[in-house]
Structure 1
């Protein structure tokens, strides 16, 4: 009965946005991420297909770093493997400018103006949207309030890194199976470097100076990375250099992490009793600051886009409208509970009474998203747009190379100074090759 009601509801919702069927059978191949919200979307594929006879959807679900590599290679070589790609705020404007993506022309019913301006702008080039956000995010602290209460510690809403270290030390109890803090260590420009960039920002560091020269061997980067490595060696779980989002989510849901600083989208998972053993013990705070609050928390969206070479733009756009619509959010809420809807993309989500009642993290999430400013993300002036990345084509290679060096420092294969020196050489080589100076 519940599934029949769901199918009816989603079909009706789909008919609001989509009229008419595809002229001929069309298969859409979608490359996406192996996280909870994306997997949930796949479960509703049948409903979309019923609302749009003649269109079928085939999923290629990949781990984050593999996804980035596969879609980048495919679009750069015009390989044509995918009709819809899951990409982010780094790739979208760059690929849109290169002509690699089809402009996203949505219907009036879709209400693109409901998307948060910072997210919409980050997925646009010269005023045209090239991708639609499935969800948006910033970063924030998720921590075990039961453990801080037990230790007699109160973590402020906007903690300093000194506050965090004190709380982490108090919660750390490996004999009880609890590590004080879990942070990303897996190398990648969107993995360990997403977190480390925000940490470095708040220590007063930046990726490039105004002449586009890399600044990775600066005292600020050294101080930030030294703090990170020392903190993780003292209070992090073993093998942290291999941990990304999904690995840490599993740890915290098992009650093995005192604190986690990562994507706000994780809040819906860690506060879900069906997934987390400590759901009722999790509290939220803003990303920690040190010398400056600028760039302390990132800004990101996982979004859906259509390669410009696609011959199925109309059908792919129909799917993207459905998957990123207000109706989809409503239907997931009515089916699974409003605490489980994809968030961070649309203002209207935060006006739904059922969502506000179910999502204890909503206020903290909004505060984090609104505080992130890609145009003013470092203590000293910089020439790039982006908080946890620099929005230039060369950054992907640079960030990946630097991430490998930072993982080597975390695992003890190199000292922090050695890792940063190697990172500086790699970044300098890439920028010279690209002709920046």
Structure 2
């Protein structure tokens, strides 16, 4: 998960709200204020692509449809809390919200958001078939219905300095294994002054260190939970993956690794302090920006694997409609515009093609105007997203959808707590075995609480 993808915790408010809904009671009130039949209220995160959308809406969407849009725009932590409060109450004051593929299956199960299948079937201009299949799959709930449309998305891949590897006579495989990556990291480590072999996140957080690390666990044959919710955090496979990751970053990783997240690794790569970086596909835009010192020097290949064919994660900021909204038709018109091919072309012409909310449509990756600014990373990005399998990311069946997360509310706290132990292991303050023994106890508690809540 990138800087747009450094996930905050789905707070205790969400878990409490789930319990409230189960009990049939109302939740919280509050909202944006009035609005007539030709007005919708949208609650969304304040990421740059969303701010572009806010600026472009009135002169384009409203002019075309006559539908006015009231935006409530908040920082990520705040908007997640606000959405969980508003949608759990089902007051209908917000019609649309920006949700990720983590929240959408959870919200769908709680009946907080409306299915979109009837709209996608009727609206042939939207072209649902053009949405990359893993995106559609990750926004489809267990009942088989679609509950969200992606605004932009990402996966993960390996980024590397082509010139550094060339200077050392090394060829990067198109689909490297983690063993090959570790070997390359050792061979290029400190070959240039101040340049380490690889940058890997070590910062605590379920959306920080465990974003890349869970993909390593998956491809090493591990899992947080088996299909029957048996916790496997201290299993041999999970342990082998974490030991590999910790050993690699300790031996050949960046300085200050226990505090390094997406931003720190991005800066290290741009500043020439690392030869390789495994992280979000969305990082490539910054690396290839006109003012980037490494523009044109980077190569991009598939996420490293061990036992699986692919291992990249999957994340999308998406749109959903509140179930209680009385303006669902107009809400869909807004969503179908904001997630359309036509909107991407609008952003390209008025903001710039480097600002297009990409990562969701196949057609984006055949658009020659987009490819002119994204030629270095467009194809590996599309391949990474298309090869992601959110329902089968490892070697065994899973109890819930998700690649770099387990799609239950309790995972945010579980992942964050275990990540603190892993960061301590990276810092040399505890062993991996001790970290995962503690993690196993936490996972056992989560499994028990989650299963009891389902009864």
* TM-score for the superposition, normalised by structure 1: 0.83
Change in CA separation of 1:234 and 1:318 when aligned onto 2, cut-off 3 Å: same
Structure-2 residue corresponding to 1:324: 339
TM-fit CA distance, 1:69: 5.0
Structure-2 residue corresponding to 1:132: 149
Preserved CA contact (<8 Å) 2:132 2:386: no
Structure 1: distance between partners of 2:57 and 2:274: 35
Alignment of 1:119-198 (within 5 A): 119-125=135-141, 126-173=143-190, 176-198=193-215
TM-fit CA distance, 1:288: 0.8
Deviates most, 124-133 or 151-160: 124-133
Q: 1:111 aligns with which of 109, 127, 135?
A: 127
Structure-1 residue corresponding to 2:322: 307
Q: 2:41 aligns with which of 22, 28, 53?
A: 28
Structure 1: distance between partners of 2:333 and 2:264: 33
Change in CA separation of 1:43 and 1:270 when aligned onto 2, cut-off 3 Å: farther
Alignment of 1:17-416 (within 5 A): 23=36, 26=39, 28-32=41-45, 34=47, 36-48=48-60, 51=63, 55-63=68-76, 68=80, 71-76=83-88, 83-104=95-116, 105=119, 107-125=123-141, 126-173=143-190, 176-274=193-291, 276-290=292-306, 292-294=307-309, 296-310=311-325, 313-358=328-373, 359-416=375-432
Change in CA separation of 1:232 and 1:41 when aligned onto 2, cut-off 3 Å: farther
TM-fit CA distance, 1:177: 4.2
Structure 2: distance between partners of 1:109 and 1:117: 18
Preserved CA contact (<8 Å) 2:195 2:273: yes
Deviates most, 141-150 or 349-358: 349-358
* TM-score for the superposition, normalised by structure 2: 0.80
CA offsets 1:160-204 (integer angstroms, 9 cap, x no match): 112212322344349844333222333333332221111011111
Structure 2: distance between partners of 1:57 and 1:185: 39
Preserved CA contact (<8 Å) 1:48 1:322: no
Deviates most, 237-246 or 93-102: 237-246
Change in CA separation of 1:343 and 1:173 when aligned onto 2, cut-off 3 Å: same
CA offsets 1:240-276 (integer angstroms, 9 cap, x no match): 33443344334433333322212222223322224x2
CA RMSD of superposed structures (Å): 3.0
Change in CA separation of 1:136 and 1:268 when aligned onto 2, cut-off 3 Å: same
Preserved CA contact (<8 Å) 1:159 1:287: yes
Deviates most, 197-206 or 382-391: 382-391
Preserved CA contact (<8 Å) 2:95 2:321: yes
Preserved CA contact (<8 Å) 1:48 1:319: no
CA offsets 1:263-306 (integer angstroms, 9 cap, x no match): 222223322224x221111110111112x025621222221223
Number of matched pairs: 412
Change in CA separation of 1:340 and 1:29 when aligned onto 2, cut-off 3 Å: closer
Change in CA separation of 1:37 and 1:173 when aligned onto 2, cut-off 3 Å: farther
SS in 1 for 2:382: helix
Preserved CA contact (<8 Å) 1:343 1:349: yes
Deviates most, 340-349 or 242-251: 242-251
Structure 2: distance between partners of 1:235 and 1:75: 46
